Amino acid sequence: MKPGADQIALPLDFPQSGDERRFILSDANRDAFEHFRHWSMWPVKATVLTGPRRSGRSLLARGFVDRVGGRLFDDAERHEEEALFHAWNQAQETGKPIVIVVDDSEGWAVKLPDLKTRLAVTPVARIHQPDDALFAALIELLFADRGLHIPGEALRFITGRVHRDYLNAERIVEAIDRFAIAEHARVTLPTVRRALMEAGLIDRAA
């Protein structure tokens, strides 16, 4: 049996604020996590972090820059390219790394030639869509945020029938919670099934 996701993901030498404890380590993000643990081996004092929104990419990046005294450009596509260019150069001069978070590194149309040249030698770390273990752990965490417990059979039903991505996990928990409140029902397998059908998140034949 494949081991579950590790809820206590960050090692002791990473900052341990409440938000950072929410980073759930699994095969979907392990390579990116290890990339930051071994930052002294980067070819330049910079990295690009890419991945789906709500995937924990900002949590991982913030924890890293807080620990090493680096600088974070979240949603880097929205920043001035000139500012990114100067920040990249400054990171090399000071030895304090810069982390550049983008939705899609390959689809990022950088116009400034000098920045494009520097990004070409900057390593890229990727977080992928959730695997089975991460998706289940994320659903449990989101229910716990609402003070709710999701029974094992209901959790297995969800993970076996829905599209797995980070945003959909939030939609699923929201839909079930709303339905349960409206129906004055506990979060059980029948409640979950009806809620997901009503929300159009699973087929009515499920």
Q: Cα(160)–Cα(103) distance, rounded to whole angstroms?
A: 27
Q: Cα(108)–Cα(110) distance, rounded to whole angstroms?
A: 6
pLDDT of res. 122: 97
pLDDT of res. 171: 96
Q: Cα(87)–Cα(67) distance, rounded to whole angstroms?
A: 18
Helix, strand or coil, per DSSP, at residue 188: coil
Q: Cα(206)–Cα(193) distance, rounded to whole angstroms?
A: 8
Q: Which domains does the chain have, with CATH numbers?
A: 20-126 (3.40.50.300), 132-198 (1.10.8.60)
Q: Cα(199)–Cα(175) distance, rounded to whole angstroms?
A: 6
Give pLDDT < 50 ranges for the chain: 1-18
pLDDT of res. 19: 63
Residue 205 buriedness (CB in 10 A; 0-12 / 13-18 / 19+)? exposed
Q: Cα(87)–Cα(112) distance, rounded to whole angstroms?
A: 14
Instruction: Express each pLDDT in 113-171 by its tens digit.
Output: 999 999 999 999 999 999 999 999 999 999 999 999 999 999 999 999 999 999 999 99
Rg (CA), the chain: 20
pLDDT of res. 20: 63
